[in-house]
């Protein structure tokens, strides 16, 4: 029982860590475009940035949200999956 409670507390701390860093306005823009099904090239063209910059934003988004991939990030941000 004690080990189980400790494990739950640790998971809570990990989840809190992922939400410490709020997404920037630009990261939110990128994530919205991802959620609309756009590829990096289209996102880059829409925001007048390079594909490499889009990829950098996605890496930061994934890290901040603790997501495994683009789909996971969108699901987390939409509240489909709890952090």
d(CA 52, CA 41): 9
Domains, the chain, ordered by start:
2-78 (1.10.10.10)
Q: Is the pLDDT of residue 69 over 50?
A: yes
The pTM for the full model equals 0.72
Task: Report the pLDDT value the prediction gives residue 82, as an integer from 0 to 100.
Answer: 60
What are the pLDDT digits (tens) for 33-54? 999 999 999 999 999 999 999 9
pLDDT confidence tier of residue 78, bands split at 50, 70 and 90: confident
What are the pLDDT digits (tens) for 2-28? 555 554 454 444 444 444 589 999 999
CA distances from 6 to 1, 2, 31, 82 (A): 9, 6, 34, 20
């Amino acid at each position: 029982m004690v080990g189980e409670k400790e494990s739950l507390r640790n998971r809570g701390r990990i989840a809190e860590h992922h939400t410490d860093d709020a997404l920037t306005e630009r990261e939110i823009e990128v994530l919205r475009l991802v959620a609309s099904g756009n590829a990096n090239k289209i996102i880059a063209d829409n925001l007048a940035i390079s594909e490499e910059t889009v990829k950098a934003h996605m890496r930061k988004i994934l890290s901040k949200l603790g997501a495994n991939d683009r789909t996971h990030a969108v699901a987390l941000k939409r509240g489909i999956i709890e952090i």
